[in-house]
Structure 1
């Protein structure tokens, strides 16, 4: 059976952000259709991408309100997939308060796996739902902005938005 993945994009200021969802919830937020396709191919044996602004309207509305500084929390359903370890890391990311940052080692400690700092970094890098699962709030222990799938300028802009 072919999985239908609905997608649309949001243009706001200088950004074009792609969103995708299954019937279960949002499963992708990012800046590339190529990433959406690659992630879908990994997760689903057979899938089809269907452009449908209507099915994603509520997700788009919440994300736009965040980008305008009108929303600090998201209420949407998510369908991120991932391994049990990745899901634990992504859950820890969702617990980082708006406007605050944390470190990779703090996330490793939070999930009771303090030696897994590199694995935490890998799981964060695999997060398919940028912004909503706020991996931009994780910085290096020295305070430096570190890797972000959509680039350090976007990470910097998101952190500035939340200040």
Structure 2
């Protein structure tokens, strides 16, 4: 049996995809193993993409809008990953060899643990990015206030100085 690879345009430099027609042409005894292999490859690809997205959030995201968008994309990747892992677990019952079943179960468990780690890392990356964003926002806000000539007048007005209130109305 031969597997044909089809290159798909994507962000990654090389993403091989096994044609599903190869799965239909496979002998009945090999279909489960081939499906498990295809799912395993897809899980590895999604896991790599999710880790890259989490690293990007941790290192590069510096505003709330980008953080929201990148976090949403990472969650979508993790949801797809969870779905593929569930599909891989379901394939084990269709495998003929007990050894293959055991190997696929172990792979699925390992992938499930990595998924949980990725979810935790996404939470940590989001918290880290929010801290960095708040560190950028506060100094820039204070810089705006410091550059105002009438910072002193504003502080006096907040303290309740009547003359300052009248002066600020004239600005």
* Greater strand share, structure number: 1
Q: Which structure has the larger Rg over C-alpha atoms?
A: 2
Please report the TM-score for the alignment, with normalisation by the length of structure 1.
0.27
Q: Which structure's residues are more often helix, by fraction?
A: 2
TM-score by length of 2: 0.26
